[in-house]
Amino acid sequence: MKQSATLAMQLAEAARIVAGVAAGRSLAEAMDRLREDSRAALIDLTHGTLRRYGRVQAIVANLSRRGRPDALVEALLWTALYALESGRYAEHTVVDEAVKAGGLIEHWPAKGYINGLMRSFLRQREALEAQLAAEPEAHYQHPQWWIDLLRGAYPADWQSVLAAGNDHPPMALRVNRRRIDADAYRARLTAENIAAHRHGSEGLLLEHPLPVDRLPGFAAGEVSVQDIGAQRAAHCLDLASGQRVLDACAAPGGKTAHMLELADVAMTALDIDAARAARIDATLDRLGLRAEILHADALQPPQWWDGRPFDRILADVPCSASGIARRRPDIKWLRRANDVARFAGQQRNLLAALWRVLAPGGKLLYATCSIFPGENEAVVAAFVASENTARQLPLPDGARAQWLPDAEHDGFYYALIQKQA
């Protein structure tokens, strides 16, 4: 059990972060500013709260007898309820530390209210469960429009998809085959008492997540952290040595690196965000790989393209990120229903722009980390129907195009499109 002496401070800081998300700010930006000594505890409190956001919101709304509280006090109650239900702390400890946190966020008059609501939850927990089960957003812990989309798209699987979106994500590794064999690396993990099993030709799925500094050979570039679903991309592009390859929207460089690990290709990695593009170089440097890295907008080829067509293009397009919501739990609550159509418009524009730089006979892999059909098969079908040189091919790995999130991987969609000569 963690030391309760620091819990009040952690709850106060987590409340500030969660309140920011509730106001529309990105969780990732807040995480980047955290000190290393507090990072793990705050990731647990913030991510855990946001995974259960629909539930903790409903609990506070049901128990509050004086209307909706101040936004920061409300966020503190959400984080304290998550901490209480996490089982990591004694119940009385959470209540006491939540009250102290009320002072730390300078809402001293609310300390009695915080104490009363937390104790009311402990007394009324069983009765509350029946109420929460009848409220879809509280029960499934996703926005109603998200629930409705998944129910319509996956009538047999929507509940399991929602459940996966609330769970802790798996941790998968990709072995750098230029440096070490996957079986040999697994043996190194076993020697370090790190349990893992093989998944695909380079993949290893850890039984329990752990910090990267505990991974043998990580600093030496023997291995990277990459979801099993994301590892499909490089294998679906039909790569061969000597090809000219473009990774559009490439940051932070995981898929770029994987392609370079598989084949001796001439790689161009492109990203519109300068800070994120810089991360590609760091990723490749650790792995002993090289590529031409460009900070540019994929929608504007005249600004960056040298006129030589690419044999292969990975179009890992911006999307709702609905397939990785458990890794970015703020996504569920920051997105809006009309975002799906907005992203689809951007995706169609990117496809059209990148098609111009693909060689005749070349192949483009359309990729998203979305599970919404409106961003996936609908976009691809419309593009193929409108472009007479486009032909959709079966995926080389033989698996279905849409992977839904489960215990082993996140949700990803892939479509391979060839440009007819």
Taking residues 217-241, report their average pLDDT: 97
Unique residue bearing structure tokens 């793990």: 40
Which carries the bigger pLDDT value, residue 356 or residue 2? 356
With cut-offs at 50, 70 and 90, classify the pLDDT of residue 20. Answer: very high
Choose, from 236, 249, 319, 369, the residue flagged as catalytic: 369
What SS3 state is found at 83? Answer: helix
Neighbours of 421 (CB within 10 A): 8
User: What domains are there in the chain, each with its CATH number?
Assistant: 4-141 (1.10.940.10), 172-225 (3.30.70.1170), 232-419 (3.40.50.150)
pLDDT digits (tens, 9 = 90+) for 169-199: 999 999 999 999 999 999 999 999 999 999 9
3 pLDDT tier (thresholds 50, 70, 90) = very low
Rounded Cα gap, residues 224 and 235, in angstroms: 16
State the pTM of this model.
Answer: 0.92
Among this protein's residues, is 369 annotated catalytic?
Answer: yes
Query: Is the predicted pLDDT of residue 38 greater than 90, yes or no?
Result: no
The stretches of 240-394 forming alpha helices (DSSP H) are 254-262, 274-287, 331-334, 339-355, 377-386
DSSP label of 291: -
Question: What distance in Å separates the CA atoms of residue 143 and residue 49, rounded to the nearest whole number?
Answer: 15
pLDDT classification of 57: cutoffs 50, 70, 90: very high
Average pLDDT over residues 393-411: 97
Q: Of 166, 212, 205, 162, which is closest to residue 56 (Cα–Cα)? A: 166
Q: Which residues pair with 269 in a beta bridge?
A: 247, 293
